[in-house]
Chain A
Amino acid sequence: MIGVGKIKQYANVLETPLSKGKQEVSLSAFAFLFSELVQYNQTQVDNIAELERRLEDAGYSVGARILELLCHRDKGNRRETRLLGILSFVHSTVWKVLFGKVADSLEKGTEHEDEYMISEKELLVNRFISIPKDMGTFNCGAFVAGIVRGVLDSAGFPAVVTAHFVPMEGQQRPRTTILIKFAEEVLRREARLG
């Protein structure tokens, strides 16, 4: 029959087998889509802080879903319950699925006990993006910060997560650091668990 698609039809989404996550699209397709996400959100805000917040919110919903997906598919419906466990889950598993590689580094903040940093020399979402001078320190990585916050929050580790450019010695371009500041309750629980 002419014109019938090759996609199998299911009565509802729950019957559809979960994809193995091996499918790919071109980086360009993603870059154009992400660029349009940023452009649309620019039309909805009055200042850079709001733009950051909106990109973070968009990322949050991705993070919450990716946690659910990965826990179900890759971890047999279990999730990390300890601080270092969930951090390394974000730094390796989540990063690998979303960005095709483990993040460049995961470090503990030197000044504050509740701070952790995931850094990337070149964040995938920033690959083609040059920030205009008049936007100061704005970083589209806010979207990725949102993803991280979405994962952490949904796993029971509420945190404030922000994205920052950090200049690197001997490098033309700054790297992006995702700064995670956990809520007090998380640290208290962690201390209790010993």
Chain B
Amino acid sequence: MAAIYSLYIINKSGGLIFYKDYGSAGRMDTNDSLRVASLWHSMHAISQQLSPTVGCLGIELLEADTFDLHCFQSLTGGYLNPFIYLFIYKHTRYWFFLPSTGTKLFVVCEPGTQHMEGLLKVIYELYTDYVLKNPFYEMEMPIRCELFDINLSQAIQKDRVALLGR
């Protein structure tokens, strides 16, 4: 049983810089994952532009006939605000984490999966350690860092064990 299907990291221009599958469900080929990444990026941007009032930080809840789209974020917006979003699309959930520096993280997981905020925060910290402190990583470019992969797998494994344990 896999709680987490896949993980995306999107740079501030909407380019997919990291993608990883964790289960058989929701698996995508490279083209599809790139497309999904840029779609979510654009949708979030458009939702801000559509707002008649200033200071809109993007989608919170969107209801459609075949899916609900939720997002939540820490209460107030601002310049230094990491947002966490939750989208529910049919049987899959998309969790977003949006540090205000423009990088976006999102995890696709099984409905009902709990504590995704916590996991996303852990992943964000791994990103600040094993990606941003690596002199061979170029900003905004695809992430190819062995240590990030190793530590990420461990974090997700741990999360999975914790889930099964409940």
Contact = CB atoms under 8 A, between A and B. Distances in A.
Interface of A: 28, 31-32, 34-39, 42, 128-132, 135, 140, 172-173
Interface string B50-72: 00000000000000000000000
Interface residues of B, number: 12
Contacts of A131: 136, 146
> Which of A38, A42, A131, A173 has the most chain B CB within a 10 Å cutoff?
A131
Contact of B134 (A130, A135, A173): A130
A35 B150 contact: no
Contacts, number: 40
Contact of A172 (B135, B136, B150): B150
A38 to B, nearest CB: 4
Contacts of B147: 128-130
B139 to A, nearest CB: 11
A70 to B, nearest CB: 28
B135 A129 contact: yes
Interface of B: 129-130, 133-136, 144-148, 150
A31 B133 contact: yes
Q: Which 5 residue pairs of A and B lie closest in terms of their CB atoms, listed nearest first?
A: A38-B135, A128-B133, A130-B145, A130-B146, A35-B135
